[in-house]
Amino acid sequence: MAFSASNCLALLSFAFFVSSSIILSCASRGIEARGSPISSLVSRELFHSIFLHKDDNACPAKDFYTYDSFVEATRHFPNFGNAGSLSTRKREIAAFLAQISHETTGGWATAPDGPYAWGLCFKEEVSPQSDYCDSSNKEWPCYPGKSYKGRGPIQLSWNYNYGPAGKALGFDGLRNPEIVANSSSIAFKTALWFWMTVQKPKPSCHNVMVGRYVPTEADIAANRTAGYGLVTNIINGGLECGRPNNAQVNDRIGYFQRYAQLFNVNTGPNLDCENQKSY
């Protein structure tokens, strides 16, 4: 079949239009995916229904932990809440929010709306027992006069966490650890950094919650089974795991059960770590 010059030009124009439309469509979808998948699962309204009392006058962190800072922080960790099925994604987010709620809780047994409605009440540790400096760690040496006490949603602690967190996120964690309690965005980023980062021999909390945890021989011997309890072991196993009916572990579980219900997902098995050896 013969084509005239005008037909060829029309065909080329049509092909360019179609290909350009496909490229633009794919690009826009890519930007949307990279923007914030979290906002599609955690609306502003849901966030505030989870943290009912975080901005009460009784909470020292009043007005510090904002929804916008949370969403902004997740953009730096695009795999968070974005791996696996919809249920897996929701369960991971619920688990993360539950753990940071326990770390920053202001709740008590008879608190209004229950003890699990008081997450994100504190932004730094009150009356720390030390400056959390491990002087034996030469890779991340402590800076004179600085305290590496718990700060932010995950209560980031110790020089060996502040140093690498700062390096990964673009701040000097050793010389300026206070920024974690002064910047809401950085505070959330440090919590997500801890959640997403493998720190051998520990797996990442993220990999555990999305089903990517592969136990080593040492893990199997220590009965470190996949589930929310293993996440607790990663975060604070030395003080809480291997102990029957530990109050701190139960508090973490209480938050998770409430949030899983709000996300309309089940919690999965192995919620506690009482039969696990710590790392």
What is the distance between the alpha carbons of residues 54 and 2, in angstroms, rounded to a whole number? Answer: 73
Q: Are 148 and 131 in contact (CB under 8 A)?
A: yes
Q: Report whether 244 contacts 263 (CB < 8 A).
A: no
Kindly report which listed range (31-45, 114-128, 152-166, 254-268) carries the lowest average pLDDT score.
Answer: 31-45
Reply yes or no on whether the pLDDT at 23 is more than 60. Answer: no
* Single-letter amino acid, residue 174: L
Per-residue pLDDT tens digits for 129-148: 999 999 999 999 999 999 99
Rounded to a whole number of angstroms, the distance between the first and last alpha carbons of the chain is 74
Q: Could you tell me which of 66, 97, 68 has the C-alpha nearest to residue 80?
A: 97
Q: What is the mean pLDDT of residues 91-106?
A: 98
Torsion of CA 55, 91, 149, 272, to 10 degrees: 120
DSSP class of residue 202 equals B
* Active-site residue, selected from the candidate residues 92, 103, 124, 240: 103
Q: Which of 274, 208, 202, 203 is nearest to 241 (CA)?
A: 274
Instruction: For 230-260, write each residue's pLDDT tens digit.
Output: 999 999 999 999 999 999 999 999 999 999 9
Query: Residue 15 has what pLDDT?
Result: 42
Residue 89 corresponds to which tokens in the numbers above? 């994604």
Per-residue pLDDT of 149-193, as tens digits, reads: 999 999 999 999 999 999 999 999 999 999 999 999 999 999 999
Cα angle 231, 250, 112; round to 5? 120
- Taking the C-alpha atoms of residue 90 and residue 142, their distance in angstroms, rounded to an integer, is 38
Q: What is the mean pLDDT of residues 62-81?
A: 97
How many Cα neighbours within 13 Å face the side chain of 185? 9
SS3 letters across 13-70? HHHHHHHHHHHHHHHHHHHHHHHCCHHHHCCHHHHHHHCCCCCCCCCCCCCCCCHHHH
**CA dihedral in degrees (101, 107, 110, 113; nearest 10)?**
-60
Q: 22: which 2 tokens? A: 């496909």
Task: Tell me the pLDDT band of 22, cut-offs 50, 70 and 90.
Answer: very low
Residue 3: is it exposed, middle or buried by C-beta count within 10 angstroms (0-12/13-18/19+)? exposed
Active site residue 103: yes
Q: Which domains does the chain have, with CATH numbers?
A: 34-122+198-279 (1.10.530.10), 125-182 (3.30.20.10)
